Amino acid sequence: MKKQFTAIISLLVLTIVLISMYNINSLESKIKAEQYSRLVNDLSKVTTDFGAWISKKVQALNTAKDIVDNFSLEEITEMSSRNFFLDINNDDPDISQIYIGLDNGDFITGSEWIPPDDYDPRERVWYKDAVIAEETIISRVYIDRETEELLVTISSPLHINETFVGVISTDVFLSNINDYLKKSIEGEKIYTYLLDKEGTFIAHTDKPELIGQNIYTDLKNKVYIDYFEQVKQTSKIVELEYAYQEQEIRGIVQKIVDVDWYMAVATEEEDQGFFERIIDKNLILNMGIVIVILILIYFISRMKSVLYKTNKTLVSDNEKDFLTGIHNRRYLDISLENIWESARDKNDLSLLMIDIDNFKEYNDTYGHMKGDEVLKLLSNSIKDLLRKEDVFARYGGEEFVVVLNNVLSEEAVDIADKIRLAVYELNIIHNKSPYYRVTISIGVSTIFPSTKTKIEQLLNAADIALYEAKNNGRNNVHVNNYIS
């Protein structure tokens, strides 16, 4: 009887352990999914910011090219150094002074640097790449002759009076790119790296020793090569998961728009499986198995609690827009479905579709950083006017959505007009707006959720109302409760 009781207890304990293991594995799978979603969010932010950062360098070069194109070759070549035609980029410390390599081998620069007698720009990587491409390009990684530092060069073929005269260029050192990406990435164990089209590391915020290394010729790492070949074949995000130096790496990589480079963000953790952390197979034969398993249950319970908290934090992070701090489109879609179900056949549901007027012109005039500040300021101002239960989310770009449960059409219009007026009274200067300040237009729609109506009808009606508000001169509220 005693043996049977012991066997039953042991079986019960083992069953509990197996169930706990299953729950933990399930939770770990959820955490992986949330980590992936968070990495996607980080990658989107870093690639967008870096794209704007590198575009600013290209714009500086193109500006110099436009200036030079207005003068004759004789005027441009009067000064071989400290050339004031090329001395235009003092506001950007991340690029060198602009210079020109002429097709006769001469060299002109906006800096004080005078090349050695044996220096021929036509033999340099940046010159050859630009001539072959016949357009503005970013060169392969190469070593600077003077500083022996790694760099890339933004280069463009130069024509004066429709005649090719050489290549105009500016340098960007890889150390500056790496420093910029370090400032862009936030969070412990989150890092980013950048590869050019040849597979050379341009930047790596966690392992700077890899900068300048090529995955084909230097590292010869099959895992890196396989993932890189995969991402070169698609414009979509490619998920990475592999072991490197006893670390489990999880990340994502994607091609940067308009630049033939590839950006990745990744995180790492100890490469240990669940069983290796908590169980020794030899203990199965030990007479003290029940005691060991009971101890394991205690640790499993604690581990599950930690994993649950981690998962909850990751879910919360992925429901917020990284710029404004309000809810994002993902959260809006989920919440709207839940609110719709709770309001079905019970009460009205109103929705405000908000768009910042002439926002593209604002960004073009004042810059994207100022535009980001406007998005944050407007989000905070609107949020202060809403109830705790109202859902306020960034719908995309400069567009926002407010969901008002159990609010009739007349009241929704009043709320929309208060929001419009609050933004107007912020008095944010906007010289390209007919109102000379930042304004918003709002489309309002109200619906009674039922089996005969759909969420898409509510969104479409609000979108049509917003369109009408724009057509009516902007800075106004328009309502559309017609549900087609």
Phi, psi of 208 (to 5 degrees): -60, -20
Please say whether the beta carbons of 57 and 172 come within 8 A.
Answer: yes
DSSP structure class, residue 197: T
| Global confidence as pTM | 0.49
What is the per-residue burial (b if ≥16 Cβ within 10 Å, else e) of 228-239?
Answer: beebeeeeebbe
Cβ neighbours of residue 225 under 8 Å, at least 6 residues apart? Answer: 199, 215, 216
Residue 339: is its pLDDT beyond 90? yes
The separation between the first and the last C-alpha atoms of the chain, rounded to the nearest angstrom, is 74
Q: Is 398 a catalytic residue?
A: yes
Token digits of residue 199: 């597979």
3-class DSSP state of 65: helix
Q: Which residues pair with 173 in a beta bridge?
A: 151
Superfamily of domain covering 185-270: PAS domain (3.30.450.20)
Residue 250, number of CB atoms within 10 A of its CB: 16
Q: What is the pLDDT of residues 12-51, one digit of tens each?
A: 566 555 555 545 555 556 666 666 677 777 777 777 788 7
Q: Is 69-175 CATH 3.30.450.20?
A: yes
Residue carrying the six token digits 């939770």: 27
**Regarding predicted confidence, which is higher, 462 or 303?**
462
DSSP-H helix ranges across 394-480: 409-424, 455-471
Residue 127, pLDDT score: 93
Q: Residue 180: what pLDDT?
A: 85
DSSP 219: I
- The DSSP symbol for 96 reads P
> Is the model's pLDDT at 299 over the cut of 70?
no
**Rounded distance between C-alpha atoms, residue 39 and residue 61, angstroms:** 33
Q: State which amino acid sits at residue 337.
A: E
Superfamily classification of domain 329-479: Reverse transcriptase/Diguanylate cyclase domain (3.30.70.270)
pLDDT over 90 at 382, yes or no: yes
331 three-class SS: helix
Classify the C-alpha dihedral 167-170-172-173 as positive or negative.
positive
Q: Which two tokens stand for residue 225?
A: 């090569």
Residue 147, CA atoms < 13 Å, CB-side half-sphere: 12
Contact 327, 392 (CB under 8 A): yes
Identify the residue with better confidence: 445 or 83: 445
Alpha carbon distance 181, 185 (integer Å): 6
Query: Which residues contact residue 338 at a Cβ distance below 8 angstroms, ignoring those fewer than 6 apart?
Result: none
Q: Is the sign of the CA dihedral 53, 57, 58, 64 positive or negative?
A: positive
Give the distance from CA 168 to its chain's centroid: 31
Q: Can you give the pLDDT at residue 440?
A: 97
Give CA–CA dist 207/336, Å, rounded: 43
* pLDDT on residue 296: 63
In 185-288, which ranges are continuous DSSP H helix? 222-232, 274-278
Question: Start-end ranges of CATH 3.30.70.270 in the chain?
Answer: 329-479
Per DSSP, 344 falls in state T
Given a cut of 50, is residue 277 above it in pLDDT? no
Mean pLDDT, all residues of the chain? 83
CATH 3.30.450.20 in the chain is located at 69-175, 185-270
Write phi, then psi, for 254 (nearest 5 degrees).
-155, 150
Band of pLDDT at residue 252, cut at 50, 70 and 90? confident
Kindly give the residue spans of alpha helices, DSSP state H, lying in 174-288: 174-184, 222-232, 274-278
**What's the chain's length in residues?**
484
Class of residue 88 by CB neighbours under 10 A (exposed 0-12, middle 13-18, buried 19+): middle
Contact 64, 156 (CB under 8 A): no
Active-site entry in 28, 269, 398, 399: 398
Residue 24: what are its φ and ψ, rounded to 5°?
Answer: -65, -40
212 backbone dihedrals φ, ψ, rounded to 5°: 90, -10
Give the bridge partners for 253, in sequence order.
Answer: 238, 264
Q: Is the pLDDT of residue 239 over 90?
A: no
Least confident segment among 252-266, 348-362, 410-424: 252-266
Helix segments in 274-407, DSSP class H: 274-278, 289-317, 329-343, 359-366, 368-383
Q: How far apart are CA 465 and CA 403, in angstroms?
A: 15
279, pLDDT greater than 50: no
274 confidence band (pLDDT: 50, 70, 90): very low
